[in-house]
A and B are shown apart, each in its own frame.
Chain A
Amino acid sequence: MIIAINILLWAVVAALAFFAAMRGRILLNDGLREGAIEFIRLLPRIGIGVVGSGFIAEVLPRELIGPWLGPESGFMGVFLAMLGGALTPGGPVVGFSIGAAALKSGAGAPQVIAYSTAWALYAIHRLVVWEVPLMPAHIVWLRAAVSLPLPFIAAAIAMLAGRP
């Protein structure tokens, strides 16, 4: 599975690099350089988050996570997770670290999905810093309003489909 995904991804990279090369050497070089720079910039943040979430999961109180956010917590757990996701401040490293730590320390998959869906849709930081200045205000509010049921729907689908 992991190998198949890698092969697929790198086939896509090769195809895109080929198209870029057809349009000129400079475009190919630009793409490769920009992509590599992006990767190197992201590495420390992802590394700290991934390794950090393992340790954070280890010190989280399992006896609290289980009843409140575990697979048995049902829609109450989904609601709590959704609230937590919408209120989590900071960039992706914070949201993903917390979600991964919760999953490792006993939170249920639908609850974690509700958390990360709510966080992705409402991340206060992104909404205020990017969406409000760059989009017409009434579209931002419309988007926020119709996004309300989505974490619930995502969690419900996850519950019906079974644990990933």
Chain B
Amino acid sequence: MTQPAPQRRRRRAFDWSTAAIAAAALGAAATVYWRDGRDHFLEILGSDLTLFAEMLPKVLAGCLIGTFVTLLLPRELVARWVGHESGFAGLLIAAFFGFFLPGGPITIYPVAGAFLVMGADAGAVVAFIVSWTLIGYTRALVWELPFFGSEFVLWRIAEALPLPIIAGLLARMVVRAGLMRGAGPP
């Protein structure tokens, strides 16, 4: 258990998504420059760069918190914890770890798979994935804040808090009603 989880969050600094946005941004910037003039162009550039610069300390803090939590908290321990808990508390704990565990899809889905192996039900796994998707703090800090600013993001997350639990309860209902298969051997 003392062995830290392997670091597998390798991301390229540039990819096709970024290239597409960069192309759209260049086109839009050129349009603004040509249509509205240099002053308006500089005004937009200035306000966006200010927003970006204001958020940088938070993005750096988000990256550091993410790596430290990854190094300090053995994922096997989390999986065992979630796997052994059931009922409503199980959903709450799964949702909490979805919020708390840092990392991208390459680290999160294997953890969710481990929950199943350790005995968690489908509802808990669904609550965990939805929670990571919608209220995970690393994603909000690193990605969402620079784009939307603190106020919007805090609001959006506060309003999303019940969603992982709702999803988990729905998943249990669907499985119990026999509409879809839950956890257990394939």
A153 at interface by CB-CB < 8 Å: yes
B32:A35 contact, CB within 8 angstroms: no
Complex-state Cα separation, A48 to B25, whole angstroms:
8
A1-29 CB contacts (< 8 Å) to partner B: 1-2, 5-6, 9-10, 12-13, 16-17, 19-20, 23, 27
The complex places the Cα of A2 from the Cα of B51 at a distance, in Å, of 11
Could you tell me if A145 and B174 are in contact, using CB atoms closer than 8 angstroms? yes
A20→B28 contact, CB < 8 A:
no
Q: For residue B21, which residues in chain A have a CB less than 8 angstroms away from its CB?
A: 48-49, 52, 93-94, 97
Q: Chain B nearest CB: distance from A164 CB in Å?
A: 3
- A48 nearest CB across to chain B (Å): 5
Interface size class of A (residues with CB under 8 A): 35 or more
**A to B contact number (C-beta, < 8 Å):** 269
With A35-B68, A51-B48, A154-B159: A143-B171 Cβ-Cβ less than 8 Å: yes
Chain B facing A: main interface SS: helix
**B63 x A36 contact (CB < 8 A):** yes
Q: How far is the CA of A153 from the CA of B165 in the complex (A)?
A: 12
List chain A residues, Cβ under 8 A from B183: 139
B residues within 8 A CB of A149?
Answer: 166, 170
CA gap between A131 and B181 in the complex, in Å: 17
Q: Which residues of A contact B49 (CB under 8 A)?
A: 51
Judged by a CB distance under 8 angstroms, whether A75 is at the interface is no
> Could you give 9 example pairs across A and B, Cβ below 8 Å?
A13-B64, A20-B68, A20-B71, A45-B14, A53-B147, A94-B20, A99-B147, A117-B163, A146-B174
With A and B bound together, what is the CA distance between A44 and B13 in angstroms? Answer: 7
In whole angstroms, what is the CA distance A97 to B19 when docked?
Answer: 12
- Whether A96 contacts B147 by the Cβ 8 Å rule is yes
Q: Counting CB contacts under 8 A, is A34 at the interface?
A: yes
Is A50 a contact of B146 with CB atoms below 8 Å? yes
Contact of A6 among B7, B57, B69, B106 (CB under 8 A): B57
* Set of chain A residues within 8 Å of B160, measured between Cβ atoms: 117, 154
**Interface residue ranges, A against B (CB under 8 Å):** 1-2, 5-6, 9-10, 12-13, 16-17, 19-20, 23, 27, 30-32, 34-36, 38-56, 58-59, 90-94, 96-97, 99-100, 103, 109, 113, 116-117, 120-121, 126, 129-131, 134-136, 138-139, 141-143, 145-147, 149-150, 153-154, 157-158, 161, 164
> B84 an interface residue at 8 Å Cβ cutoff?
no
Complex: how many Å from CA A64 to CA B128? 38
* Chain A neighbourhood of B95, CB < 8 A: none
CB < 8 Å neighbour of B105 from A50, A94, A130: A130
A50 and B51 in contact, given A136-B113, A138-B180 (Cβ under 8 angstroms): yes
Other-chain residue from B7, B17, B133, B154 in contact with A91 (beta carbon distance below 8 A) = B17
Do the beta carbons of B130 and A92 come within 8 Å of each other? no
Residues of A close to B31: CB separation below 8 A: 55, 58-59
User: Smallest distance from the beta carbon of B108 to chain A beta carbons, Å?
Assistant: 8
User: With A and B bound together, what is the CA distance between A90 and B148 in angstroms?
Assistant: 19
* Contact A150 B44, beta carbon cutoff 8 Å: no
Say whether A116 contacts B60, CB under 8 Å: no
In the complex, the answer to whether B116 meets A139 with C-beta atoms within 8 Å is yes
Instruction: Please tell me if B125 contacts chain A, counting CB pairs below 8 Å.
Output: yes
